[in-house]
Structure 1
């Protein structure tokens, strides 16, 4: 697929840029000659990149669990000039049984994974429409298509983001705005350090929840096969495509898991064909 001829220097807005995939995307864009507004939780997190790239990198402190902060940072970014590419990347996961999760853990998880990306996406739609186009990259995960025990709140956020993005992509395609869901698998990004564990209860210690929880508690990420630098390069290339995919499954583990999940759902759906038809009014 040939690249689209975009303007020479593009402006990116990247959330969660202090580490992992967000930092790799920020570095890749800067090395390519683009400008980046990067959001972090610690102001000093990107000091090394600021020394290297100067005023082509702007850093904003942002807590996605605070809606007023989101609105303020996005507004300030837009007042500074047009934004061509938005990357909703920041995230973390609450790990444990749904029964163990506190109301605060659930609220914060949905705020960060779903509500904040919805607000950010919405804020950029009008200026992108008025400037004739733009790209919005939603960093989802294999967990946006496949569900496992211990991640119910995380899945709620990612599955919600997938539905929101699919709907919005159809609303704005005529304006030259393209949305893409990136679905990485197990990637060496240090994501294990961004896990918020519930207080474990005895009832879930030895059922389907317990073994997954203990695996995550001891995993160091060395067995993860996803290379965040390569993922960043693929995502960057996708922003140049004139007709990018809605979903981008990255990692053999993602491909295999999503393929199995979709096959299972399709098989179950086909088995219900006659039942589905049986609830209609009689002719």
Structure 2
């Protein structure tokens, strides 16, 4: 059965791959991106299936206006894919305040507003799916990606709560957590000048590995996107979908370590309740 999708960040990477796959199989796609001309070729090939709108997710008014227009013109939209994001690459002390604000405005607040804009429409139509493209970095952390992690951990916390709030309306969420994949993502990193004080620190080691190709990138973006699409056919929706061996290994290790830390302080933790 033909479905309709709303996807942010469709100019490249996961968003572009997903748009192409969905059009090939006959679905309709409301594709949003900052520079609409990037999709001219696809529009020419799929004029009746592809709906395009310019959108910068940091413009909250525009997010709500575009979402309203998409539902008004397309009718039912089955799946919302909140995908637009980028990574601020630098130690927490190195990045500027302006860069911090833009990272949070894009990855966290932008994603929140896309979801908030969609919820009234999904409630009105009796339900739907929301895929939030997070990252393995929503549950683990690498040095030199501190602000990127802040945005991804933040959106995961938001969805943990909102998913419970809207479950009575048959609205389901999937947090997609890809590991490093061979997309244009690395080329979109925003990086401030490094500080000499961080030479020979973990932050510098990660920077060097990424710039010299020593950072392992195993994820196949085509397979990852197909897994995202396939997840929408599963009922109930998988709440989290880790993609790639790096994601599985890293998240599992982080969760086990977090549990061990919790258990190590169990006696102190339980002793801080009010006395009976």
TM-score band (shorter)? over 0.9
Segments ≥4 residues shifted beyond 4 Å = none
| Structure 1 residue 24: Cα displacement | 1.2
Can you give the 5+ residue segments of structure 1 that lack an aligned partner in the other structure?
Answer: 1-7
Partner of 1:230: 223
Partner of 2:237: 244
- The equivalent position to 2:81 in structure 1, one of 82, 87, 90, is 87
State the aligned residue count. Answer: 275
| Structure 1 residue 42: Cα displacement | 1.7
In the TM superposition, what are the counterparts of 1:32-181 in structure 2 within 5 Å? 32-80=25-73, 81-181=75-175
Q: Secondary structure at 1:91's aligned position in 2?
A: coil
| Structure 1 residue 220: Cα displacement | 9.3
In structure 1, distance between residues paired with 2:235 and 2:24:
22
Partner of 1:4: none
Does the 8 A contact of 1:166 with 1:246 survive in 2? Answer: no
- The equivalent position to 2:13 in structure 1, one of 17, 20, 43, is 20
| Structure 1 residue 75: Cα displacement | 2.3
In structure 1, distance between residues paired with 2:214 and 2:228:
25
In structure 2, distance between residues paired with 1:260 and 1:128:
36
Does the 8 A contact of 1:95 with 1:150 survive in 2? Answer: yes
| Structure 1 residue 214: Cα displacement | 2.1
| Structure 1 residue 232: Cα displacement | 1.3
Does the 8 A contact of 2:63 with 2:117 survive in 1? Answer: no
TM-score (norm 1): 0.93
Structural RMSD (CA): 1.4
Q: Which has the higher contact order (CA 8 A, sep 6+)?
A: 1
TM-score (norm 2): 0.95
CA displacement 1:48-76 (0-9 Å, x = unmatched): 21121112101111112222322222222
Partner of 2:209: 215
Partner of 2:272: 279
Does the 8 A contact of 1:192 with 1:220 survive in 2? Answer: no
Does the 8 A contact of 1:96 with 1:197 survive in 2? Answer: yes
Does the 8 A contact of 2:177 with 2:241 survive in 1? Answer: yes
| Structure 1 residue 9: Cα displacement | 2.2
Does the 8 A contact of 1:140 with 1:162 survive in 2? Answer: yes
- Measured at CA, do residues 272 and 134 of structure 1 come closer, stay the same or move farther in structure 2, by a change above 3 Å? same
Q: Secondary structure at 1:96's aligned position in 2?
A: coil
- Measured at CA, do residues 151 and 177 of structure 1 come closer, stay the same or move farther in structure 2, by a change above 3 Å? same
- Measured at CA, do residues 218 and 42 of structure 1 come closer, stay the same or move farther in structure 2, by a change above 3 Å? farther
